[in-house]
Amino acid sequence: MRAVLIVVAALVFAAPAAAGGWATAGLGPPDDGVGPGDTWNAQVTVLQHGNPLTPLVGVTPKVIITNAKGVRKEFTAEPTGKDGVYLAKVKFPSAGEWRYSVYDGFTQYGGARTHEFAPVQIGPAADGGFSLPLWPFAVAAALVAIAAALLFARRLRPVAAPAAQ
């Protein structure tokens, strides 16, 4: 009986601690026009349990950007005056593909974590190459093919026999 009471007490006291230990962080991608050196006003929303009714205040989220070369930058988000909403002024140092994430800063109950988002392309493609449209080459190839076919057809045309006299 005593063992059962200990187990029940442990479950009762553990439930509230387990219930409060996580948060979600929402952040949309930068606008298409954001290029290297431009400021992205990254608006982070941090919610306890992912519930819009429980915005988290008093946390210090960070927006973290990383590229394929291992360049990593962190930008601390500041409160905006709206509960659970923070603003980080992010600057991508170069063009290319960048991954971004948000450290939610919710350290209460040991639940802070980093939330990953899909990578984004900043500025021109990472190859930085010059690209030409393909359609002029396709048209030129089609014209060459037609000219070759006409020439070949002309050579295959039977020659008329000389008229008999």
Mean of pLDDT values over 32-59: 93
Mean pLDDT of the chain: 81
> Is residue 164 one of the residues assigned to a domain?
no
| Angstrom distance (rounded) from CA 148 to CA 144 | 6
Q: What is the CATH number of the domain that holds 22?
A: 2.60.40.10
> Is residue 151 one of the residues assigned to a domain?
no
> Is residue 15 one of the residues assigned to a domain?
yes
Q: What angle do CA 101, 104, 109 make, to 5 degrees?
A: 140
> Is residue 143 one of the residues assigned to a domain?
no
| pTM greater than 0.75 (yes/no) | no
> Is residue 92 one of the residues assigned to a domain?
yes
> Is residue 83 one of the residues assigned to a domain?
yes
Count of structural domains within the chain: 1
> Is residue 118 one of the residues assigned to a domain?
yes
Cβ atoms of 96 and 68 within 8 Å: the answer is: yes
Structural domain that includes position 54: 2-122
Give the pLDDT confidence score for residue 24 in this predicted structure. Answer: 92
Find which of 12-16, 39-43, 47-51, 142-146 is predicted with most confidence, using mean pLDDT.
Answer: 39-43
Q: pLDDT tens digits, residue range 70-118?
A: 999 999 999 999 999 999 999 999 999 999 999 999 988 778 999 999 9
| DSSP letter for each residue of 91-130 | E-SSSEEEEEEEE----GGG---EEE---EEESS-TT---
> Is residue 72 one of the residues assigned to a domain?
yes
Q: Give percent of the chain above pLDDT 70.
A: 73
pLDDT above 50 for 3 = no
Q: Which residues contact 31 (CB under 8 A, 6 or more apart)?
A: 40
Pick the more confident residue, 57 or 10: 57
